[in-house]
Amino acid sequence: MSLFSIGRIKTKVIFTLGFFLAVFQLLAPIYLTGLLDIQFRAIHVAFGLSIGFLYFPFRSRGEDEPPEEGISLFDLLLITVLLAANLNAFLKALDIYMGTTGATNFDLVLGGALVLLVLEAARRSVGPAIPLMVVLLLGYIFAGESFPGMWKLKGIGLDFVLGSLYYSPLGIYGSVTGMSATFISMFIIFGSLLSATGGGKTFIDIALAITGKYTGGPAKAAVVSSALFGSISGSSVANVMVTGSYTIPLMKRLGYRPEFAAAVEAIASSGGGITPPIMSISAFMMAEFLGISYFRIIGYALLPCLLYYTGVFSGVHFRTVRMGIDKLPPEEIPKWRDILTLERIAGLIVPTGVLLYLIAVGQPLQLAGFYACVSALAVFLLVGILKRKIRETMKLILSALSEGGRDVAQIVPILVSVSMLVNLIGLTGIAPKISGVILQLGGTNLYFSLLIATVVPFLLGTSLPVVPTYVLSVSILVPPLLKLGIDPVAAHLFFIYWAILGGVTPPTCTAAVAAAGIAKANWVRTGFFAMRLGAVAFILPYFFALNPALVGRASWMSILGHGTTGFIGAISIAYGMFSHRECLLNPLRCAAFIVGGLLLLFPGTAPSLTGLAVVGTAFVIDRKILSGRTGTRQEHHRKRSGEEAPK
C-alpha cells in the first residue's frame, strides 16, 4: 500500500532529507554546542533512520520487479514511532543523565519500540546479521541462569535491559552513536564532496598516466587508482563501482580473464580502507579509542599499507608477465596536461591539504573535517565562478550534499546497532569470558593466540561491514592480546585489516561480488582469486602484531630495516605464487621464494638473514633456469631460420 502513487515524490523527499541531514551534520557539532550529547544523538538517530526507512524497502526486490513507488503507510507509521521515541529522549535528556526519576512504563515502551526499529533499519541496510547478534545476546541475558560454569549469568530483568539500551547514555545513545553523529558523519560528507569533483576519474587518469606504458598497465592502473580513490572514500564497494566501472572493461578488452580483472579490482579497492591520508571510518574510531592524534594513526598505517599494495602490485605484475599481456596503446594513455588542470586538481588537493594541516596542528577531528568541507565548497564555487557555470556548480553542490546525507543515513542504523551491541556485551560480561578462553587456549603461545583471535573478525567480516566488525572485535578481543604483550596500535590495526579482508572472502565477499558483477564473472572464483592476489595482505596482520616496527612503533633504524626486509619479502611471496617456469624444479623454486619471503617478514635478525639467503639462492637458480630457457629458444629459432649455430 502506498500513500503516493508517484515514485518521483519519494525520490524528492529522500533528496531533500539527505540535503538537510548533511547541513545539520556539518553545522550542528560546531554551532549547536548548547545541546546535550543525548539530545544531539537523538536528532541524529531520528534523522538518519527516517531516511533509512524511506531509502531501503521492507523487502528487497528482484531484478525483474519494478522499483517500489511511493511512500508506504507502514514506513510512515514506523517513522512516526521513531520520531516519538527520539523526541521523548530529547526532552528527558537531563533526567537520563541525572537519573533523578528513572524510566516510566511509557519510556520503556517507547524504548522497546525504538530497539525494534533500529534492528529493522539495520536489517534493511545490511541484512539480518546484526539483528541476529542482538537477539542472541538478548537470549543469553534472559536464559543465562541455565548456562553452566563461567557462562552462567545472573538473571537480568527486561526493564533493566530496556532502560540500559534506551534510557541511558550507554546503549542507543552511546559512544559509538556519538562518533557516528560527529566526526564520522563529517568525513562521510567530506568524501561525497571530493567524489563530486570527479575525483574517481581523475585518479584513474593519473594511474593510467603512471602505469599505462608498462607491461600490464591496465591492471596496475586498477591497483593505483583504487588505492588513490580508496584513500578518500574508505568504502571498498564504492571504490569498486567508481574505479572498476572503467578499469575492469579495459582489462577485459586487453585480454585479461573476467575473474582475474574483477579480482584485481576487488583486492585493490579493499585496501583503500587502510590507505592514508583519509583511510576509513574505522581509522578515525581507532584514534578515538586509543586517545591519540589521527595524524599519528596515518603514520602508523603507512608501512603496512605500502606492504599491502606491494604484494598486490607485484602479484599483478608477475601474473601479467606470465600471461604475456602488453602495455596500453599510447593513444589511450591520458596526457598530464589534461589531468593537471585547476578544475580537476584543486578540488582534491586543497580540501585534503586543509584537513591534514588542521589534524597535524592538533585540531579536533570534527573541526578539521568541518573546515575541510568548507574549503571543498569554496573551491567548487571559485571554479564555478571562473568558468562562469554558477548554476551548474550550485546543482553539483546540492547533489553532493544530498548524496553525503544519504551516505550518512546508510551508516546510522549500523552504528546505532553496534552501540547497542557494545552495551549488551558489557551487560553480559561476555568480553572477559572470551578473553579468558583465548588466554587459556593460547596460554603463553602468542602465535596460537593470534590465530584464535582471528576467528571472530574473520567470521564477522564475511557478513558485516568493516565498522561493526572492527568495533565488536576490539570490544571483545583487544584486552587478551594486550595481556600477551601485543602493541595497542598493532592490535587495533590487526582487527581493522581482518575486518577489511572480509570484503574479498567468500561466502559474502561484497567487494568481489560487486567487481564480478561489472566483469560478468563468477563471483566465487573472483573471491578466491582476490584472496590469492592478496596473500601478503592476509598474513601481514600477524607479522605487524609480532613486530611493532612494521607499524612504526620502534626506532627509525628498526623501522627502516624491517620495512626493507618486509618489502623484499612481499615481492618474494608474490613472485613465488604467480611466476612459473617449465621445469621439474618449479614447485621447489616457488616454495623457496614463499618461505624466504615469510622469513623476511618475521621480527629478528636471524630470520631476516635466513630469508635473504633462501630468496637469494632461489633467485640465482631462477635466473639460471630462465637463461637456459632463453638459450634453448634462441637455438631453436636459429635452426628454424636455417642459420648455423656458432662454434
pLDDT at site 1: 45
Lowest mean pLDDT among 154-158, 371-375, 540-544: 154-158
Calculate mean pLDDT across residues 494-502.
Answer: 89
pLDDT at site 282: 84
Between 308 and 144, name the one with better pLDDT.
308
**Tens of pLDDT, residues 176-214:** 899 889 888 888 888 888 877 666 678 888 888 888 888
Residue 552: is its pLDDT beyond 70? yes
Q: Which amino acid, 294? A: Y
pLDDT at site 297: 92
What percentage of the chain reaches a pLDDT higher than 70?
91
SS (H, E, C) 360-409: HCCCCHHHHHHHHHHHHHHHHHHHHHHCCCHHHHHHHHHHHHHHHHHHHH
**Tens of pLDDT, residues 62-90:** 554 555 556 788 889 999 999 999 999 99
Residue 594: is its pLDDT beyond 50? yes
pLDDT at site 259: 92
Distance CA 184, CA 177 (A): 10
Residue 553: is its pLDDT beyond 80? yes
**Tens of pLDDT, residues 600-634:** 999 888 999 999 999 999 999 888 876 665 555 55
Residue 13: is its pLDDT beyond 80? yes
Between 302 and 254, name the one with better pLDDT.
302
Q: Which helix (H) or strand (E) holds 512?
A: helix 510-519
pLDDT at site 11: 83
Calculate mean pLDDT across residues 583-597.
Answer: 86
> What does pLDDT average to over the chain?
85
Between 583 and 149, name the one with better pLDDT.
149
Q: Which amino acid, 508? A: T
Between 164 and 198, name the one with better pLDDT.
164
CA–CA–CA angle 53, 104, 106 (5° rounding): 40
CB atoms within 10 A of CB 150: 11
Residue 5: is its pLDDT beyond 90? no
pLDDT at site 119: 94
pLDDT at site 244: 87
| Helix, strand, or coil (residue 73) | helix
**Sequential DSSP letters for 231-242:** HHH--HHHHIII
**Tens of pLDDT, residues 213-240:** 888 788 888 888 888 887 776 678 778 8
User: In DSSP terms, which residues pair with 72 in a beta bridge?
Assistant: 2
Distance CA 539, CA 553 (A): 19
pLDDT at site 639: 54
pLDDT at site 432: 80
Distance CA 278, CA 393 (A): 25
Calculate mean pLDDT across residues 398-405.
Answer: 92
Lowest mean pLDDT among 363-367, 534-538, 541-545: 363-367
* Residue-level length of the chain: 647
Residue 581: is its pLDDT beyond 80? no
Asked if residue 273 lies in contact with residue 229, where contact means CB atoms within 8 angstroms, the answer is no
**Sequential DSSP letters for 9-60:** HHHHHHHHHHHHHHHHHHHHHHH-TTS-HHHHHHHHHHHHHHHHHHHS-SSP
| Helix, strand, or coil (residue 72) | strand
Task: Give the CA diameter of the chain.
Answer: 104
What percentage of the chain reaches a pLDDT higher than 90?
34
Residue 477 φ then ψ, to 5°: -110, -20
**Tens of pLDDT, residues 238-255:** 788 888 888 898 888 888
User: In DSSP terms, which residues pair with 2 in a beta bridge?
Assistant: 72
**Tens of pLDDT, residues 26-52:** 998 888 888 899 999 999 999 999 999
